[in-house]
Amino acid sequence: MRTVFLTWLLAWLPFAAASGADAPATRLGDTGLYLPGTLQADPAHMAISPQYPLWSDGARKRRWLSIPQGAQIDASDPDRWVFPVGTRAWKEFGYSQPIETRMIERLESGQWRYLTYVWNAEGSEALLAPAEGISRHLASDAPGGRYPIPSQEDCLACHDGGAGPLLGVSALQLSPDRDPLAPHAETPPQPSTNLVRLSELNLLSNFPPELLDNPPRIPAASPVTRAALGYLHGNCGACHNDNGSLADLDLVLLQSAARPEAGLQRSLQTLVGVAADEVADGVSLRVLPGHPAHSALAFRLRTRNPIAQMPPLGRRVPDIEAIALVERWIQLETSKQFGMEQQP
């Protein structure tokens, strides 16, 4: 165990030096997540539950957010919050017991640091993972008995995708107007960390007051459309948006709290009836109204082909509940909204 630990530590030292930051804690317990000497989360941290959670092969998750005392989140742009230096967020993944806990923190330089801690088989301690991740980490109750620990590059692929580094901490994700049809919806922890509580704790600066009176939601034509587009927002919008590295694809799945109607229309205009890359025989459009079997969107959610599946990372098991929802939306709702069914 000591040899493994030293290997992990040495893998991280170049990254710490390059960022100009102090070396990261080598044990999760030293990051400040827990009360001293325990595995109980410090109640000073806020438990977070986004209304559209990310699917990760059915892993259960717990999340916490810590804002330094006296600091605030600049929420003047409701769609891209700016977090103060010293912000920390933790996200625990596991099945019957935790497997990994990821931490994101904003350093004095203003840069973000991404760390992953891997739990031992007893669930008593988690140690810092190497920057290159662990491709075949053993975990008996994970699909196939293995669980890939992400690399530093994997983390950046999503968290540096234009939607902001803290993907589940946003005006739409923390809206008290939660979507009852959202796939894998979680019961919010108590007290619920939503926009109202953040405002009451004076943690938001310049947040538009009208969004407290009328909390953000996707203004879709039906509950099914709202839930389907919300799922795509939470699972795909981090990369597929107007600001990230994939902006040239002109596929926008990130919804807007500041301009909800415009955000909704932007998604539909870049999805429905738009030519897709050739991903399979008989599939020529991203969404063919009324025909999920001939829609690239549904194909990419279903396939496990690593070249074609979306999202490309962190998934080996199809999200059956979400696929059924998206296919129902394509089958019923798009044909209503966009007129006569197009022929395959």
What are the C-alpha distances in Å from 256 to residues 155, 170, 218?
Answer: 23, 10, 8
Phi, psi of 65 (to 5 degrees): -130, 140
The answer to whether 212 and 196 are in contact (CB under 8 A) is: yes
Q: By C-alpha distance, which of 77, 48, 82 is closest to 257?
A: 77
Q: By C-alpha distance, which of 13, 1, 12 is closest to 129?
A: 12
Average pLDDT over residues 260-279: 92
The answer to whether 278 and 299 are in contact (CB under 8 A) is: no
325, pLDDT greater than 70: yes
Average pLDDT over residues 319-344: 84
336, pLDDT greater than 90: no
Residue 20: what pLDDT?
A: 52
191, pLDDT greater than 90: no
Predicted confidence (pLDDT) per residue in 132-153, tens digit: 988 878 888 888 888 888 888 8
Which SS3 state, helix, strand or coil, does residue 216 take? coil
Average pLDDT over residues 264-277: 94
The ranges assigned to domains in the chain are 2-170+200-205, 218-337
pTM greater than the 0.85 cutoff: yes
- Distance, CA of 275 to CA of 336 (rounded, Å): 20
2, pLDDT greater than 50: no
Predicted confidence (pLDDT) per residue in 31-46, tens digit: 999 999 999 999 999 9
- State the alpha helices, DSSP H only, in 144-256: 152-159, 195-200, 210-213, 223-236
**C-alpha 287: how far from its chain's center?**
23
| Higher per-residue pLDDT: 195 or 161 | 195
The answer to whether 287 and 273 are in contact (CB under 8 A) is: yes
Q: By C-alpha distance, which of 283, 262, 263 is closest to 330?
A: 283
The encoded tokens of residue 99 equal 């497997």
Predicted confidence (pLDDT) per residue in 98-127, tens digit: 999 999 999 999 999 999 999 999 999 999
Residue 148: what pLDDT?
A: 87
